[in-house]
């Protein structure tokens, strides 16, 4: 990956020393005492619940993220819930009413598993969150302009979400998929107000000058960094 790119994750593609130092620098941007609650993402739909600042901090001897899941939930002071992406969809959920929040990593597998709405249900169970109250940010990800997939993705999406228009055919048995649209429509179906969902109009595959992109950069650099999207409460 390019030097001086402030890679914040990908312990299997960069040294732990580099990543942890970059995270320390990142946390210095925030006033006060903050801890980053992360996870080793596995393209699933499970979540980690962080109850306080001490739970967010990694073990003293940890050389990487050691909890395996794809969403972080919390309502604790000083906690930043964070997910890493390099084409997948980062989703940040904030509930002003209960002051709870969540960070979600949604690749195509997580989107198919409805991880965003599953996380929203967990927020209701844990904190009493109402879908109509939340404000959601969907960050930069591989867009419908570039993210080409095959029938292994097309067929299960069409079967599960028959009313979602997600695909633009590119060639035989291939199409570009709109994961941002799928996640947005799932959240609206779960009761989130459309006006409370904010989608960044930026494709990571188009803008490698700004973002890491696994699909664009893996073949060029051999290793790819990760962006980090975080949410907490002030």
**Per-residue pLDDT tens over the stretch 157-171:** 999 999 999 999 999
| Residue 29: pLDDT over 90 | no
- Structural Rg of the chain based on CA atoms: 17
- Residue in the block written with tokens 């299997």: 12
Cα separation, 130 vs 14, whole angstroms: 39
Q: What is the mean pLDDT of residues 114-142?
A: 98
Helix ranges (DSSP H) in the chain: 16-27, 53-56, 108-112, 115-127, 151-160, 179-189, 214-221
The CATH fold assigned to 16-231 is 3.60.140
Cα separation, 200 vs 65, whole angstroms: 27
| Mean per-residue pLDDT over the chain, rounded | 90
Cα separation, 227 vs 55, whole angstroms: 23
pTM as predicted: 0.91
Q: What is the mean pLDDT of residues 51-80?
A: 83
Pick the closest to residue 117 from 165, 174, 186 (CA basis).
Answer: 186
- Residue in the block written with tokens 């312990």: 11
All residues at 6 or more sequence positions from 195 whose CB lies less than 8 Å from its CB, including other chains: none
- Residue in the block written with tokens 């570039």: 146
Residue 85 near residue 225, CB atoms below 8 Å: no
Pick the closest to residue 204 from 137, 145, 142 (CA basis).
Answer: 142
Cα separation, 75 vs 167, whole angstroms: 37
What is the predicted pLDDT for the residue at 1?
Answer: 47
| Residue 7: pLDDT over 80 | no
| Residue 76: pLDDT over 80 | yes
Structure token digits, residue 16: 């732990």
């Amino acid at each position: 990956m390019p030097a001086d790119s402030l890679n914040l994750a990908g312990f299997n593609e960069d040294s732990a020393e580099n990543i942890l130092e970059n995270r320390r620098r990142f946390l210095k941007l925030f006033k006060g005492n903050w801890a980053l609650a992360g996870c080793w993402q596995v393209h699933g739909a499970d979540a980690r619940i962080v109850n306080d600042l001490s739970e967010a901090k990694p073990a003293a001897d940890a050389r990487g993220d050691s909890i395996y899941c794809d969403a972080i939930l919390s309502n604790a002071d000083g906690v930043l819930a964070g997910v890493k992406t390099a084409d997948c969809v980062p989703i940040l959920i904030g509930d002003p009413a209960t002051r709870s929040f969540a960070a979600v990593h949604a690749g195509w597998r997580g989107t198919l598993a409805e991880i965003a709405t599953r996380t929203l249900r967990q927020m209701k169970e844990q904190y009493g969150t109402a879908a109509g109250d939340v404000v959601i940010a969907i960050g930069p990800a591989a867009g419908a302009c570039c993210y080409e997939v095959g029938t292994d993705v097309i067929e299960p999406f069409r079967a599960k979400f028959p009313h979602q228009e997600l695909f633009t055919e590119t060639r035989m048995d291939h199409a570009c998929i709109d994961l941002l649209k799928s996640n947005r429509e799932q959240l609206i179906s779960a009761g989130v107000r459309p006006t409370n969902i904010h989608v960044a109009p930026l494709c990571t595959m188009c803008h490698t000058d700004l973002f890491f992109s696994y699909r664009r950069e893996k073949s060029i650099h051999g290793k790819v960094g990760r962006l980090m999207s975080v949410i907490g409460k002030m």
